Amino acid sequence: MFKFGASGLLLLTLALTPPAALAERVFVSNEKDNTISVIDADRLEVIETIRVGRRPRSMAFSNNGEWLFVAVGDDEAIDIIDLETLQVRSRQASGPDPEVIRVDPNRPYIYVSNEDDNIVTVLDYERRSRVARIPVGVEPEGVALSPDGKWLVNTTETSNMAHFIDTETFEVVHNVLVDARPRHAEFTKDGSEVWVSAEIGATVSVIDMEDFRIKQTIDFDVRGVPRETVQAVGVELTSDGRYAFVALGPSNRVAVVDQQSYEVLDYILVGQRVWHLALNGDETRLFTTNGVSGDVTVIDVESRRALKSIPVGRFPWGVVVSP
Amino acid sequence: MMPAGYLQCLRGILWRELLRFVHQRSRFVAALVRPLVWLLVFAAGFRMALGVAMTEPYQTYILYEVYIVPGLVGMIQLFNGMQSSLSMVYDREMGSMRVLLVSPFPRWYLLICKLLAGTGVSIVQVYAFLAIAYAYGIQAPLLGYLYVLPALIVTGLMVGSLGLLLSSFIRQLENFAGVMNFVIFPMFFISSALYPLWRLRESSQIVYQLAALNPFTYAVELIRFALYEQLHGQAALITLSVTAVLLALAILGYNPARGMMTRKTGAGAEA
């Protein structure tokens, strides 16, 4: 089989594109393969597979843009990948079962949710030391940082709470009860809201950062799909305040939500058990990890259509796009 | 005979077929309603059935209603091809075929003109169906609607040739029910029109093998790939070859010296 003229045109375009424009790479953690798949964001092909520690899940970039941190849960550590060589250069202990990590935009800190310990650990990746251990609810999972770095939000799956932590004092200041099994938290670009997804509740709670109250709860109902398979997990918000994307787990759909009216606009079919999401630099494309089908679906943001699904390793979990 | 004469002959037959089609509005509606019922009712009930698998030429996961569209396009052409054969039988019964056959042009040429006319009509129906499907949300890449045209011509000629061949065997209009039961239904159901071959294989090896031998499967795949801007080489080769063989047999069937016409006329006279 071959593509008609369009593919030739695409190849020509690629050939004429300066190398710097090809730099955008998508990193996908394969939970069961202990690898990170690297996808060329333009060609939409896997270009490299990096071997890392056991059970890689959440990933985050260092502030200098040189390293990629990977939480390797079964090794109780953070593997540090050199983005130049695409190899693990070092490892830092993280405490038990690290699941979600985020990097402080102002300091060389990594925030780690230790699922088995009911703790959020703060690590200094430059000094290779532990800065703090913050007790939170039961089974901490989602971690989000406000754009100004002042607030850290952590969701706890069994306590069904979003904990608001002051990043100066490392103390929990507010707790907000959300729906069952909160998985993920994400701030809007202006930092005025934080969106918290609930897996079993199949909702997203939008929390106002002025008064730490839920100002809106978004429900998801995919026609023709059993209710129990609709599980809200990953959330990604466009910085222009237009769309929110919510991964709906085993319903194999990504919901498109209007960030202003909170109305669900669309459901996009992707691979099986869609888990986490990431937008590319100019926010024209959204990448989804589909755990059970072992692939990444690429969605065109403007047309809200799935373009392609790219096979990666077994049980892809997290996804980040290189800056 | 001058080439201009051939062209005029083709134009005349095309025009007659088109006029007949335009005047039979119910036929146009029926041709659209049939696939639309499949799309909006049957496929809607099964929309999750294929949502969990990726099948070429699709780049990502699709709903069943997206999968079934090329099959329904094939169905439109299949029914149209058979309807053409029905009209040949009707023409023969009504005597209007004589008008065609007394033409000074060679019979094979007249038959090919008739085939092209039928194919043209089926393509009009297909694009009307694709437009409705597009409005319903089943949207292929825009260029795909252009690339599918040659595939539609080949498929139209293939099922048309089959219809022509059958019409040389069918003596009366009443026998058309038999064509429905023994030709259209098996061709449509035992093919990749409704389910991909790998899925048929999961349930029955025999059905899978029959579907893999069914030329209609390759016609549908040719349409499917073309609609998504790809050429399925194997399907194109098989569809073209089958078209050539069926067309040759149909021309032979309508040959007064050797074909079925003589025998049938004789048989008809005896009856």
Nearest to A272 among B47, B52, B229 (CB): B52
Nearest to A306 among B61, B143, B229 (CB): B61
Tell me the chain B residues in contact with residue A298 when contact means C-beta distances shorter than 8 Å. Answer: 60
Q: Mean pLDDT in chain B?
A: 83
Instruction: Name the CA radius of gyration of chain B, rounded.
Output: 19
Q: Report the percentage of chain B scoring pLDDT > 90.
A: 39
ipTM, 2 decimals? 0.76
Distance (Å, rounded) from C-alpha B207 to C-alpha A46? 37
Dump pLDDT digits (tens) for B204-250. 899 999 999 999 999 999 999 999 999 999 999 999 999 999 999 98
User: What is the model's pLDDT at position B48?
Assistant: 61
Q: Does A240 contact chain B (CB < 8 Å)? A: no
User: What is the model's pLDDT at position B257?
Assistant: 59
Q: Nearest C-alpha of chain B: how many angstroms from A4?
A: 6
Residues in chain A: 323
Residue (of B154, B156, B163) closest to B124 by Cα position = B156
Q: Which chain B residue lies closest to A272 (C-alpha atoms)?
A: B52
Distance (Å, rounded) from C-alpha B220 to C-alpha B198? 15
Collapsing DSSP to helix, strand or coil, B231 comes out as strand
User: What is the model's pLDDT at position A13?
Assistant: 47
Residue B270 has pLDDT above 60, yes or no: no
Strands A140-145 and A151-156: antiparallel
- Per-residue three-class SS string for chain A: CEECHHHHHHHHHHHHCCHHHHCCEEEEEECCCCEEEEEECCCCEEEEEEECCCCEEEEEECCCCCEEEEEEHHHCEEEEEECCCCEEEEEEECCCCEEEEEECCCCCEEEEEECCCCEEEEEECCCCEEEEEEECCCCEEEEEECCCCCEEEEEECCCCEEEEEECCCCEEEEEEECCCCEEEEEECCCCCEEEEEECCCCEEEEEECCCCEEEEEEECCCCCCCHHHCCCCCEEECCCCCEEEEECECCCEEEEEECCCCCEEEEEECCCCEEEEEECCCCCEEEEEECCCCEEEEEECCCCEEEEEEECCCCEEEEEECC
Beta carbons of A308 and B59 less than 8 Å apart: yes
Q: How confident is the model at residue B56 (pLDDT cuts 50, 70, 90)?
A: confident
Q: How confident is the model at residue B43 (pLDDT cuts 50, 70, 90)?
A: confident
Beta carbons of B231 and A271 less than 8 Å apart: no
Tell me the chain A residues in contact with residue B222 when contact means C-beta distances shorter than 8 Å. Answer: none
Residue (of A299, A315, A237) closest to A267 by Cα position = A299
b/e burial code for range A103-123 (CB count within 10 A of at least 16 → b): bbeeeebbbbbbbebbbbbbb
Q: Which chain A residue lies closest to B44 (C-alpha atoms)?
A: A224
User: What is the model's pLDDT at position B182?
Assistant: 84
Q: Which tokens hold the place of A156?
A: 């706890």
Q: Does A252 contact chain B (CB < 8 Å)? A: yes
Residue A181 has pLDDT above 50, yes or no: yes
Residue B266 has pLDDT above 50, yes or no: no
Residue with tokens 């096979």: A311
User: What is the model's pLDDT at position B256?
Assistant: 64
Residues in B 150-209 with any Cβ partner in A closer than 8 A: none
Beta carbons of A224 and B59 less than 8 Å apart: no
Nearest to B231 among A1, A269, A293 (CB): A1
Mean pLDDT value across residues A223-245: 93
Q: How confident is the model at residue B50 (pLDDT cuts 50, 70, 90)?
A: low
Distance (Å, rounded) from C-alpha A254 to C-alpha A268? 5
Distance (Å, rounded) from C-alpha A315 to C-alpha A275? 10
Residue A176 has pLDDT above 80, yes or no: yes
Beta carbons of A308 and B51 less than 8 Å apart: no
Residue (of B208, B18, B171, B148) closest to B85 by Cα position = B171
Prior bond of A98 cis (ω within 30°): no
Strands A109-114 and A119-124: antiparallel
Q: Does B237 contact chain A (CB < 8 Å)? A: no
Q: How confident is the model at residue A5 (pLDDT cuts 50, 70, 90)?
A: low
Residue A118 has pLDDT above 70, yes or no: yes
User: What is the model's pLDDT at position A10?
Assistant: 46
User: Considering only A39-53, A152-166, B214-228, B251-265, which range has the smallest mean pLDDT?
Assistant: B251-265
Mean pLDDT value across residues A223-242: 92
Q: Which of A2, A3, A4 to mutate to test the interface with B (most CBs of B within 10 A)?
A: A4
Q: Which chain A residue lies closest to B51 (C-alpha atoms)?
A: A269
**Can you say how many angstroms the Cα of residue A178 is from the centroid of all Cα atoms in its chain?**
20
Beta carbons of B231 and A2 less than 8 Å apart: yes
Distance (Å, rounded) from C-alpha B103 to C-alpha A17? 62
For residue B124, what are the β-bridge partners?
A: none
Tell me the chain A residues in contact with residue B59 when contact means C-beta distances shorter than 8 Å. Answer: 307-309
Q: Which tokens hold the place of B38?
A: 């499949």
Q: Which chain B residue lies closest to A44 (C-alpha atoms)?
A: B59
User: What is the model's pLDDT at position A1?
Assistant: 47
Q: How confident is the model at residue B47 (pLDDT cuts 50, 70, 90)?
A: low
Dump pLDDT digits (tens) for A275-323. 999 999 999 999 999 999 999 999 999 999 999 999 999 999 999 999 7
Angle between the N-to-C axes of helices B25-37 and B64-94, in degrees from 0 to 180, rounded to the nearest 10: 150
User: What is the model's pLDDT at position A317?
Assistant: 97
Q: Does A223 contact chain B (CB < 8 Å)? A: no
Nearest to B60 among A2, A6, A307 (CB): A307
Distance (Å, rounded) from C-alpha B42 to C-alpha B37? 7
Tell me the chain A residues in contact with residue B233 when contact means C-beta distances shorter than 8 Å. Answer: 1
Helix (H) or strand (E) holding B230: strand B230-231
